Structure 1
């Protein structure tokens, strides 16, 4: 009975992982690919690990497996969200069929003050200004009309 249940979770995990792979191939842009890979991939790996926990049925191994599943379910969606936010802010294009762009009106929403200081100081290579250092002004607030562009000048060989 335990083998059948574990095998069922292995098959289910494999199917979810297959769906994640198909989602990566079939979705039109980076953001939808990331969503498909995260949801189906998390469920696929979660089912596989749960199948391992059922198959071995040892308290220590099962506890570790459940902790790994919990960690996976907590971190994978958050990581995908943060990567998608970063991709949006560096100008990765949205699919032409995107209906709602919630970040369009507020492109700097969610960016902390330290990140804005670094943007004003010259991008990712700039050093963080301290609270007492007023040599780097904060950038002007965005109006939402500016095009989304990278924080560096692609024509400047020193700004890479």
Structure 2
């Protein structure tokens, strides 16, 4: 049973590391602030959440696992809201979209 737990924890750590690495690559490679923020908030949240849950499982105590799960829930609840607010502030401050962007829905007039 210990080997199975170790394999699950290892798989979660590796996949969490991959997601976090992809988030870092997205922040460096993507063309504008909006897509960079999207990469950081989505992949970074999944990666850090997987690693946090893996650490909680590895500890072997319910209290540690409960705190790790609470931290994961906190990540899931706060990261999308923070990303949305940063994007809205960047748009209001005048940061331009990439040339590859097809439509700026925030500049469209409201539908009647």
Distance in 2 (CA, whole Å) between partners of 1:83 and 1:58 is 37
What's the counterpart of residue 27 of structure 2?
A: 24
Distance in 2 (CA, whole Å) between partners of 1:77 and 1:105 is 23
What's the counterpart of residue 65 of structure 1?
A: 68
What's the counterpart of residue 96 of structure 2?
A: 93
Distance in 2 (CA, whole Å) between partners of 1:28 and 1:49 is 30
The higher relative CO (CA closer than 8 Å, separation ≥ 6) is in: 2
What's the counterpart of residue 50 of structure 1?
A: 53
* Greater gyration radius: 1
Name stretches of at least 5 consecutive residues in structure 1 with no aligned partner.
110-160
- Please list every run of at least 4 consecutive aligned residues from structure 1 whose deviation after the TM superposition is greater than 2 angstroms: none
Establish whether residue 74 from structure 1 lines up as the match of residue 60 from structure 2. no
Backbone CA RMSD of aligned residues: 1.1
User: Greater helix share, 1 or 2?
Assistant: 2
Name stretches of at least 5 consecutive residues in structure 2 with no aligned partner.
none
